[in-house]
Amino acid sequence: MRTPKPLPPSFSEPFLAADALQAGLTEGRLRASDLRIPSRGIRVPRALDGGAGDGPAGLAARARPYLQLLPDAVLSHTSAALLHGIPLPAPYRDDPVLHLARGPDKPGARRRNVRCHRLALTPEDVVLFQQGLSVTSPARTWFDLARLLPLPAMVAAGDWLVSEHGRSYGRPRTAVVSLAELRERVLGWAGNPGIRAARRALELLCVGVDSPPETYLRLMLHDAGLPAFHPNFALLDDAGRPVVWSDLGCPEFRTCVEYDGEHHLTREQQLRDHNRDLLVSELGWHQVKVSALDMRRGSGWVAGKVARGLKLGGWTRSAGP
């Protein structure tokens, strides 16, 4: 089999067949074995297969030809979420389907691996990504996810959007969308499909969460009827200065919860954790550590573990949350 002639550099990413023909490539060259046809009128160099298309930049490159064919469409739902960096559960991160949105009066896009939604979008609902790629805004994307994601994943995505903090160490974090703005935007989408699920998730959002596992942990404790835990909570010394920042803190019963991810397995981090544990104890707090294995064992296991810490702080089940 003859090796195809190399493509011009301008066609190293997914491209329109019409653009290639206009640039002088032949129909035969567009049928060569080094090109894949994901949908009519689109070609993808096979060199991009096997991981080269991963990440926001790869997704943007893959989506661009579709938006060139449908200039009135915008990327939406999970596709938009991945571009914005909004955390999604694994099945949605690996979804090969491109989600596009067009106006309610527009026909759907009947293309392989494309799902077209009909949305009434305002100019405020759309932002530009790389090189003019039209994408639903972070706030609008979160709202549209309400019809796809389960409630815990919606809360984790919303926590990520509104997270902001300025601790005594590290860099401050600025919210992508403030909680107040998100509430106002959701109020304006009343009557749209998904509004009930979005409102329910909105009630559970907390500012200051650092990761989705922390959100899932907080929701487990909430659903178990335990006292309220606050994310990114500072443990203070006698002078009122923050000494330790906990993932979740319940000041009423001086109990804090730490989620130990994989980075806690390193020797260096274990030494830091040991010093931290001593400080927590000196401050008179009861610390409970929850691992990924604990989370896999389920909410009953996790809630029981945290309840034992709360009882050391004086909480009883009869006292309620």
What percentage of the chain has pLDDT greater than the value 70?
A: 92
Percentage helix, strand, coil for the chain under 3-state DSSP, each rounded to 5: 45, 15, 35
Write down the pTM of the prediction. 0.89
Q: Which residue has the higher pLDDT, 16 or 268?
A: 16
Evaluate if residue 319 carries a pLDDT over 70.
Answer: no
* Tokens (6 digits) for 275: 């010093």
DSSP letter at 173? B
* Tokens (6 digits) for 261: 């991810």
Where does the chain have alpha helices with state H? 17-22, 27-30, 55-69, 77-84, 90-93, 138-145, 151-162, 179-188, 195-204, 212-223, 267-282, 292-297, 299-312
Q: Which residue has the higher pLDDT, 35 or 94?
A: 35
Please give the pLDDT value at position 52.
39
Model confidence pLDDT, tens digit, residues 2-44: 778 889 999 999 999 999 999 999 999 999 999 999 999 999 9
Evaluate if residue 54 carries a pLDDT over 80.
Answer: no
* Fold annotation for 210-321: Endonuclease; Chain A (3.40.960)
What percentage of the chain has pLDDT greater than the value 90?
A: 74
Model confidence pLDDT, tens digit, residues 213-233: 999 999 999 999 999 999 999
- Give the start-to-end residue ranges of the domains of the chain: 1-52, 210-321
User: To the nearest whole number, what is the mean pLDDT of the chain?
Assistant: 90
Residue with tokens 């942990």: 217
Model confidence pLDDT, tens digit, residues 141-192: 999 999 999 999 999 999 999 999 877 666 788 999 999 999 999 999 998 9
Cα→Cα distances 73→2, 65, 101, 144, Å? 39, 12, 5, 15
Mean pLDDT for the stretch of residues 81-85: 96
